[in-house]
Homo-oligomer: A and B are copies of this chain.
Amino acid sequence: MTRVILVGSGRMGTLLSQAIEADKDLELAGTYDVTNVSELDDEAPAADLVIDFSNRDALPHTLAYVRRSRAALLLGTTGFSEGELAEVRALGEATQVIWSGNYSLGVAVLRHATRLAAEALPGWDVEIVETHHAQKADAPSGTAEMLLREVDPAGERTVAYGRQGMVGARPKGEVGMHSLRGGTVAGTHEVHLFGTDEELCLTHRASSRQIFVTGAIAAAKRLVAREPGFYTFDELMFAE
């Protein structure tokens, strides 16, 4: 039985808490959010794993607890500075650590398949299309940018958005990026690769945030069975 400390709040906090309680291999040792995470400094319960889906303000308390207890750490918070990320990474020398901005298993496979396809089909034209609900405030989505990095790890290619009034052929190597917005769509990402007389399209369609919870729990279970180290989601979920 793996004892889990959860740091998180809001919708994701609730979903994670429910998932931990429903899982026969996991036991909830304590739940914290940004307002009381400092309690971890003094009188924290014993735990094998900390799951932190809160925000960067909680980070010092989470890291201190992990450093002391050598509990494994699964981090889902984003927006860290480079220095903070380095600190997280360094903790991998003492215990098992994973940080990811997206714990969806399907998105991870999409990323992996995108890298595979882009490497195997270097001359093919690539276009990325993402669709989200009308209220989403930014474009393109963070996941679309992750997919762009799979296509272009070196960040060397130009990116075309929408192509209004384009004159002339598509520049070779350009990557197209298109953000559709409408209704209540939870999130769809498509990577199109176009060759001569053939086309490959890799699509992921989410219908709720539950998928991030499911993926985080699956990653957590693999994490606690590993040696100390800093792992990517891909390493935990796909490597031998």
Residues of A within 8 A of B (CB): 104-110, 112-113, 116-117, 119-121, 124-127, 129, 131, 134-140, 160-170, 172, 176-186, 192-208, 210-211, 214, 237-238
Q: Are B198 and A183 in contact (CB under 8 A)?
A: yes
Which B residues touch A164, using CB under 8 A?
139-140, 161-162, 177, 179
Most buried by B among A168, A172, A180: A180
Q: Are B210 and A196 in contact (CB under 8 A)?
A: yes
Which B residues touch A134, using CB under 8 A?
125, 169-170, 172, 194
Could you list some 26 contacts between A and B, CB below 8 A? A107-B198, A108-B120, A109-B117, A113-B113, A116-B116, A124-B183, A129-B129, A135-B170, A136-B169, A160-B162, A161-B163, A162-B164, A170-B181, A182-B194, A183-B199, A196-B214, A197-B207, A197-B208, A197-B211, A198-B204, A198-B206, A200-B202, A200-B204, A200-B205, A201-B204, A202-B203
Q: Are B194 and A199 in contact (CB under 8 A)?
A: no
Q: List 18 additional A-B contacts (Cβ < 8 Å) besides A109-B120, A162-B164, A185-B199.
A: A106-B198, A116-B116, A116-B238, A120-B237, A125-B134, A125-B181, A134-B172, A135-B170, A139-B165, A162-B179, A166-B181, A176-B181, A178-B178, A182-B193, A197-B211, A198-B211, A199-B207, A201-B205
Q: Are B136 and A109 in contact (CB under 8 A)?
A: no
The 10 closest A-B pairs by CB, nearest first: A162-B162, A182-B194, A183-B194, A125-B182, A161-B162, A161-B164, A139-B166, A170-B181, A113-B113, A163-B179
A121 to B112 Cα, complex, angstroms: 12
Q: CB-nearest residue of chain B relative to A127? A: B180
Most buried by B among A107, A165, A172, A178: A178
